[in-house]
Amino acid sequence: MNSNWVIIVRYGEIGIKGERTRNRMENLLIRNIIDVLKRSRCRLDLKINKSRGRIYITGFKSEEESVEYLNNISHVMGIVSLSPAFMTNFNTLEDLCNKAFEFFVDRIRGNSFAIRVRRIGSHDFTSIDVARLVGEKIVKKTNLRVDLTYPDYTACIEIRNNIVYFYDKIVNGPGGLPIGSEGRVLVLFSGGIDSPVATWFIMRRGCEADLLLFNIAGSKQVEMVKKIAYVLMSNWCFGYRPKMYIIDLKPLIARLLSSIPENYIVIVMRRLMMRIASKLADKINAKAVVTGENLGQVASQTLDNLVIIDSASTKTVLRPLIGFDKNDIIEYAKMIGTYEYSSKLPEYCLIGTRRVNPHAILERVLEYESRINISDRDVEELIDKAEVYDILESENM
């Protein structure tokens, strides 16, 4: 057989949208796939076509070349799974079955196999007919047994009108929606275990995420967090250029420490961060603020305290991890590749280690905030002095 290798891209909930929304999301998904291909420095003559429920990347010279790009493409949000596949035409059922037999017979490993067939279009045969005839040919040639429940090898045949795709690998993607389909958000990003995972989940729901880092310990903290942001975004962010806004909070820390009781310092500081994040979100046209908090993980994240913290924000606050256990978050951090770096990030802010009232009282919080008297003008000045960092800048070096 002459090589005609493609990558089949499958999506999930995009397919259940109305036609207008589905077309928009398919086009965004294609845009993001093109971005990952460009950043992977692939050949420029690859083509991308779409058919309902599928996107096809065509033009690979060999199976090996298609597999080479598979891992990067599998990180595009909105993709449920993908497969390197051999594509060919057929004229009759016999022609189809002969080509399937020729493709699969020398690839089967183990003692048993199954044939899985999907079919779209008008044909004078059924999917069961194809599976039965191809299976009979393979059994006759190899004496292997058919096992439809626990096969050692699965041969997949996908028929679309007079085109057929043969494949035996399925690589999972992250699922969700394509980045860009739900607008921009601003993530409070400390670089610890939680905030990168929260960023990943909000991008998985179609958001373009820019990051906000509060510099509370100097250049070493900033450089380590930049590295974590790069690991996350270079592997999972496609379709736009994410930015990190770095705001120096050190000048205000002394005012908090000298004016507020210890068990309220963290709450007041988190509210200040929310005020700054809300103002910055307005400036960059972000629709919401995102944090990595989850309910009850620490004393500042009790429901009582989250309500008080949120009341300082003028934007909607999203918490993708709100119902996660810590072990769940750690497993996701390992999966997305940030855990190795986040787990080595020291606790730079000693304020975060202080005793916190788990049930703060809003009236007291407002009283303490009046003591430090941080005005809207102070907040705007902090934002005006922010460093704006292109997270993917080093990719071009």
Q: From the annotation, which residues make up the binding site for ATP?
A: 188-189, 270, 292, 301
**What distance in Å separates the CA atoms of residue 111 and residue 362, rounded to the nearest whole number?**
68
Q: Are 105 and 155 in contact (CB under 8 A)?
A: no
Report the amino acid identity of residue 329.
I
Q: How many residues does the chain have?
A: 397
- In sequence order, what DSSP letters do the residues of 289-348 get, joined into one string? EE----TTSSGGGSHHHHHHHHTT-SSEEE-TTTT--HHHHHHHHHHHT-HHHHTT----
To which H or E segment does residue 250 belong? helix 250-259
Q: What residue numbers does the annotated binding site cover?
A: 188-189, 270, 292, 301
Instruction: Walk across the sheet containing 387-390 and list its strands.
Output: 316-318, 288-290, 184-188, 208-215, 243-248, 387-390
Interacting residues of 391 by C-beta distance below 8 A, sequence separation 6+: 211, 226, 229, 230, 233, 234, 237, 241, 242, 243, 244
The number of angstroms, rounded, from the C-alpha of 67 to the middle of its chain's C-alpha atoms is: 21
Contact 392, 234 (CB under 8 A): yes
| Whether 123 contacts 90, CB under 8 Å | no
Strand intervals (E) in 28-70: 47-51, 54-60
Cβ contacts of 87 within 8 Å, gap of 6 or more: 4, 5, 6, 56, 58, 163, 164, 165
Is 145 in a helix, a strand, or coil?
strand
Quote the CA–CA distance of 366 and 349 in Å, as a whole number.
23
